[in-house]
A and B are shown apart, each in its own frame.
Chain A
Amino acid sequence: MSATDRIALPLRRPATALAAWQRSALVLAGLAAALAPLWLLESFHLFQLTMAVIMALAVLGLNIVTGYNGQISLGHGAFFAVGAYATAILMSHLDWSFWATLPVSAVVCGLIGYGVGFPALRLGGLYLALTTFSLAVAVPQILKHKSIEGWTGGVQGLFLVKPDPPAFLPLTPDQWMYCMALIVSSVCFLLAWNLIRGRIGRALMATRDHPIAAEAMGMDIAALKTQAFAVSAMITGLAGSLSAVAVEYVAPDSFSFALSINLFVGMVVGGVASILGSLFGGLFVLFVPNIAEAISKAAPGVIYGVILIAFLFLLPDGFAGLLRRLAARLRRASP
């Protein structure tokens, strides 16, 4: 018996909860939707989708600390970069297999995230946003530094090779890459979902919504905030690892501060404090710039801005909010 079992917690089970068969049908449909592209899409579109899944994972990381815990971070591109470089260095210098680099990348990013969490305790709101932003600005330059050039490859960057699919699977490397991104992301999404639904998730949100009340309830705010940063950095770092093998190349220019801003945009558009919203955020971040460019090559930035504003205007609480409202309407409609 752990301590939590003896504490009476309010069970969050609304009257309209789905029946078990409905839930498993949803899971199966989700699985089918996730796997269908393997056969339906050509390699290029599959690659795009792989990148979108990776971005979604990175947005999920950001959502944990910013969405659920209320600590604004404009520096998650830095964790993404560290994860990518951890994998790239281990794979290209030490010939590790991709899977073996994942725990290392997660631990390194987790530790750095934990470290960043400490100043975050004293800095709130906008000041924290700027502190993390400085991290995003600094990391690409640090990666170029002479003293670590032997490992990072300096401005030249590092090349690595996508792992081959295991012999028993009849898949191309692109299809296998998609599977890997899918596996890692699904595990992370599932774990994050469990984390948020449980005691820790409620504590995170309580800290965000009313820190004084949360502290009065006996929550250790400092530990919660630093750990939220660590978990968040870990997830975004894993996304970075995946992106390194998907692109097969890392360079400091790949991780400019624009990446951090993009992740932030993805989070807001997808839905702040929403697990599913992160998925939409990833799709948005990857595909909307292409749409903007297809409309105008002269000023893709302007079009992107217009689309972004339109989204914020039409969906003020993100995709996730739209889904929530649709679901509510459905529930009201059916007696």
Chain B
Amino acid sequence: MPTRRLLLAAAAGGLFTPRLVRAQETPGVTATELRIGNTMPYSGPASAYGSIGRSHQAFFRMVNDNGGIAGRKINFITYDDGYSPPKTVEQVRRLVEQDRVAFLFNPLGTASNSAILRYVNQRKVPHLFLSTGADKWGNYQDTPWTIGWQPSYRTEAQIYAKHMLEQKPNAKLALLYQNDDFGKDYVTGIRDVLGARYDAMVRAVSHEATDPTVDSQIVTLAGSGAEVMLTATTPKFAAQAIRKVFEVGWRPLHYLTNVSISVGTVMEPAGAERGVGIITSAYLKDPTDPAWEQDAGMNEWRSFMSKYIPDGDMKDGSFPFAYGIAQTLMQVLRQCEGNFARDNVMRQAANLQGFVPATLIPGITVNTSPTNFHPIRQMQLQRWTGTTWERFGGIIEGAHLAG
């Protein structure tokens, strides 16, 4: 019957049309191009991190040289925000409203990302793999369009607490933390693992980022009789803490946040020999570590560097970081199978299973799910030998929390 056939044809047509319309309405995606937006502090106080943005530009050039993704070239649009939150808002609005990017990838800075958090979630723009270690980016319930990447400070603290319980199950812990978001994430992480025992086991002392020294805090902590110490503070104070702990003759099992492990700005000013035995953690392969000289992943990264960023500093840890994060994005885009609609990109970003970027320490994998927005939850410990950081032990995973 012609009418039925007509109806069927109309129904089939009806099934196809919305898809066609949607293909045209998918922001940032054309038949030949996929537009990705990013903000970076190319100028201003944090301009050293600009190398992450440079690395991404080179990385996507490499992707395009190799044919792009799903028949499309990647157009990576990155703007300078000078590490100033109002500027980030301006640039992100430019990316979303004017350049009409498909999604945002790896904007840098805790305050900068906080400033755009509500905007991107209201607009339902995927806000993927941020360059900041705050724990709040894993809040899949309230901000379902935002996802972090690196292990959060809270995860790191959980790992130290787990290791401490293995080594000295009944020891008392002295906790020195900077009184801000960053420091408080460590308090939360320790509390996650110790639970009800926190109050009995931990003596926590905070300091302000504006304090001249942390000497009095160290004296207080040393007087508490703790056998274990965790220092969760920024480089200047970490150097002071290491020095003062040594001077007062206190020899705790000392854990140190990996924010403050730079040899040049922490360990040497503190006195390299004073810090021997300090434990911290890592998840990326250190480009200066001789152990990775023949490593396949690092060779892949080195050949990328020599071809696309020949003048880049091979000792700058930002480059392996950026490479790993960009590879994670490519995995998400491959999983999208050509459908780069915003909801699908977000669905795939929350659907990574055991992905292994080339620059992560072997054994550490990237995993996400609709209820896990913390892609990297594992780290390996390393110890200061007086000249370098030496990795030891296996991979430790952060605590599994209910909910």
Q: Which residues of A contact B (CB under 8 A)?
A: 42-45, 47-48, 51, 141, 144-146, 154-157, 159, 243, 247-249, 251, 253-254, 256, 258-259, 289, 293, 297-298, 300-301, 304
Which parts of B198-241 form the interface with A (CB within 8 Å)? Answer: 208-210
12 contacts between A and B (CB under 8 A): A44-B93, A44-B98, A47-B90, A154-B181, A157-B85, A159-B118, A243-B86, A251-B114, A254-B84, A254-B85, A256-B45, A297-B80
What CA separation (Å) do A297 and B77 show in the bound complex? 11
Q: Which residues of A contact B115 (CB under 8 A)?
A: 157, 247, 249, 251, 254
Q: Do residues A47 and B93 form an inter-chain contact, with CB atoms below 8 A?
A: yes
Contact across chains for A43 and B97 when beta carbons are under 8 A apart: yes
Q: Which A residues lie within 8 Å of B210 (CB)?
A: 141, 144-145
Q: Knowing A44-B94, A251-B114 touch, does A297 contact B78 (C-beta < 8 A)? A: yes
Q: Does B187 contact A (CB under 8 A)?
A: no
Distance in angstroms between the alpha carbons of A253 and B87 in the assembled complex: 11
What is the bound-complex CA distance between A251 and B43, given in angstroms?
Answer: 19
What are the 9 closest A-B residue pairs judged by CB atoms, nearest first? A44-B97, A253-B111, A249-B115, A293-B80, A155-B180, A247-B86, A251-B111, A254-B85, A44-B98
Q: Which residues of A contact B86 (CB under 8 A)?
A: 51, 243, 247, 249, 254
How far is B83's CA from A253's CA once the two chains are assembled, in angstroms?
A: 8
Report how far A141 CA is from B208 CA in the complex, Å. Answer: 10
Q: Is the CB of A249 within 8 A of B208?
A: no
B interface residue numbers (CB < 8 A to A): 42-45, 53-54, 57, 78-80, 82-87, 89-90, 93-94, 96-98, 110-111, 114-115, 118-119, 179-182, 208-210
Given A146-B208, A256-B45, A301-B43, the answer on whether A51 and B114 have CB atoms closer than 8 Å is: no
Inter-chain contacts of B84 with A (CB < 8 A)? 253-254, 256, 258-259
Interface centre among B83, B98, B115, B118 (most CB of A within 10 A): B115
Q: Are B78 and A249 in contact (CB under 8 A)?
A: no
Complex CA gap A293/B97 in Å reads: 19
User: Which chain B residues border A44 with CB–CB below 8 Å?
Assistant: 93-94, 96-98
State whether B111 touches A157 (Cβ < 8 A): yes
Taken together as a complex, chains A and B put the C-alpha atoms of A157 and B86 apart, in Å, by 12
Q: How far is the CA of A253 from the CA of B88 in the complex (A)?
A: 12
Contact of A42 (CB < 8 Å), options: B44, B98, B182: B98
Residues of A within 8 A of B179 (CB): 146
- CB of A243 to closest CB in B, whole Å: 7
